[in-house]
């Protein structure tokens, strides 16, 4: 009984492996469906008349009264799988530190890995969703901490993991000269560092517009929130939580922007101004415990290949304090991949 079962199973598996669906009939050639009602269909198969000088492979010409051979190879249909999707450089979702109004194309994967002279290592992974949205996970080293307001040295809290979701419309989609617009939300996971628990969240609305072929500008606004919990009054027995939205509403709103100029075909100059949260654990006043500090960055993006960019530049985390020693030189590499897009397209 077992032998019979094994034989049946083997037969079924082998048959399934080599089985092919019957191709649909070509319109206007009689079709397989008509073939059943056509006269003498069985006599045509394998007959000399049917083969003659025709190649054994390929669909022989059929007259109106001749049924098509449904098992004959169909002529190749021009459906290339690997070249129909757009490929090549894309508009980047970030200038250097600030978001742009451009979204990743659908199913395009983007990654960015960065190191800097301050010891920061960050990584950012995103995927485009349907040409109208984008999801990402990242680590950032932009969130900083210090003990007192007088501290000259400000340390970074890293890794600080964030998740982001952005949606929007691409440039010129709705009407001519419409800038690319995205509404983005970024939120961190809770971070416990030195017994202080912190979180950040940022809602951004940004517009990006190309001015000619080689210049683009980005302008946006951000609505920030952050929380700090721990012994922030200096008493280890007294722990409390405070948030940025406890203070003045206008302290949460910041304007950011950037510019991209391409003087050489493969090189771009990038400048942007953004904002980063800074926590001060033992500052006496609550308004100093969570502050947003302006970050100025400038640098160059060099397109090594369509799928790879090298970016390098200078980032000054708190440009308002004019602390030259705080400046960091960073290098980062970005990759974009259309592989997932091609895989998705091939399933259609």
Partner 1 sequence: MNRLALILLVVLGTARAATADPVIGRVLTAPTAWLPEQGTLVGTAGVDRRGDGSVLLAYGLGLASIEFGTDTDVRGCTACDGDLKGDALWLGRAAFRLGARQDAWFPGMPAVVVGLRNTFAARGHKFGGARVTDAYLVGSRVLGPVRLHIGGSVTDGGFRQVSLGPTVRPLAGFEWTPVPYPKTSVLGDVMWIPKLELDHVKLEWVAGWGVRYQALKYGSIELAVRHRQDEGLQESTVLVRVNGVWNPRRDPPKNRIADR
Instruction: Report the interface residues with partner 1, using CB under 8 A.
Output: 117-119, 152-153, 263-264, 266-267, 269, 298-300, 302, 310, 312-314, 322-325, 327-329, 331
CB of 331 to partner 1, least distance (A): 6
**Rounded CA gap, 50 and 183, in Å?**
64
CB of 291 to partner 1, least distance (A): 21
Number of Cβ within 10 Å of residue 184's Cβ equals 24
User: Which residue lies nearer to partner 1 by CB, 57 or 153?
Assistant: 153
Strands 144-146 and 267-280: parallel
CB of 138 to partner 1, least distance (A): 22
What's the DSSP call for residue 197? E
Residues ≥6 apart with Cβ < 8 Å to 76: none
CB of 275 to partner 1, least distance (A): 21
What's the DSSP call for residue 79? -
**Rounded CA gap, 105 and 236, in Å?**
50
CB of 306 to partner 1, least distance (A): 16
User: Which residue lies nearer to partner 1 by CB, 106 or 259?
Assistant: 259
User: Which residue lies nearer to partner 1 by CB, 227 or 328?
Assistant: 328
Q: How are the residues of the chain apportioned to helix, strand and coil, as percentages rounded to the nearest 5?
A: 15, 45, 40
Burial class (CB in 10 A: 0-12, 13-18, 19+), 196: middle
Number of Cβ within 10 Å of residue 193's Cβ equals 16
CB of 284 to partner 1, least distance (A): 20
Query: Residue 142, Cα to own-chain centre: how many angstroms?
Result: 20
User: Which residue lies nearer to partner 1 by CB, 178 or 323?
Assistant: 323
User: Which residue lies nearer to partner 1 by CB, 179 or 258?
Assistant: 258
The span from the first CA to the last CA of the chain, in angstroms, equals 43
User: Which residue lies nearer to partner 1 by CB, 315 or 341?
Assistant: 315
């Amino acid at each position: 009984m077992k032998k019979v079962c094994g034989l049946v199973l083997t037969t079924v598996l082998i048959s399934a492996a080599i089985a092919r669906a019957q191709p649909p009939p070509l319109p206007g050639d009689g079709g397989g469906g008509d073939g059943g009602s056509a006269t003498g269909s069985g006599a045509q198969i394998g007959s000399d008349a049917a083969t003659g000088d025709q190649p054994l492979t390929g669909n022989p010409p059929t007259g109106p009264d001749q049924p098509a051979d449904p098992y004959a190879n169909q002529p190749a249909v021009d459906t290339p799988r690997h070249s129909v999707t757009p490929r090549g450089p894309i508009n980047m979702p970030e200038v250097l530190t600030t978001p742009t109004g451009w979204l990743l194309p659908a199913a395009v994967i983007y990654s960015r890995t960065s190191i800097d002279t301050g010891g920061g290592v960050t990584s950012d992974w995103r995927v485009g969703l349907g040409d109208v949205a984008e999801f990402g996970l990242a680590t950032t080293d932009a969130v900083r901490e210090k003990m007192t307001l007088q501290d000259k040295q400000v340390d970074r809290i890293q890794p600080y993991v964030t998740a982001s979701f952005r949606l929007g419309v691409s440039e010129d989609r709705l009407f001519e000269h419409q800038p690319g617009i995205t509404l983005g939300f970024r939120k961190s996971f809770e971070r416990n560092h030195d017994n202080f628990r912190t979180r950040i969240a940022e809602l951004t609305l940004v517009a990006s517009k190309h001015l000619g072929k080689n210049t683009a500008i980005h302008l946006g606004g951000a609505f920030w929130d952050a929380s700090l919990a721990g012994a922030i009054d200096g008493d280890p027995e007294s722990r409390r939580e405070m948030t940025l939205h406890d203070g003045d509403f206008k302290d949460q709103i910041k304007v950011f922007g950037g510019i991209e100029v391409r003087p050489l075909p493969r090189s771009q100059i990038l400048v942007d101004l953004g904002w980063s949260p800074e926590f001060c654990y033992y500052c006496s006043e609550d308004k100093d415990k969570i502050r947003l500090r302006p970050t100025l960055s400038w640098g160059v993006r060099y397109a090594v290949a369509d799928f790879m960019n090298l970016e390098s530049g200078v980032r000054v985390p708190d440009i308002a304090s004019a602390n030259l020693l705080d400046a960091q030189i960073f290098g980062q590499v970005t990759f974009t991949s259309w592989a997932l897009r091609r895989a998705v397209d091939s399933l259609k």
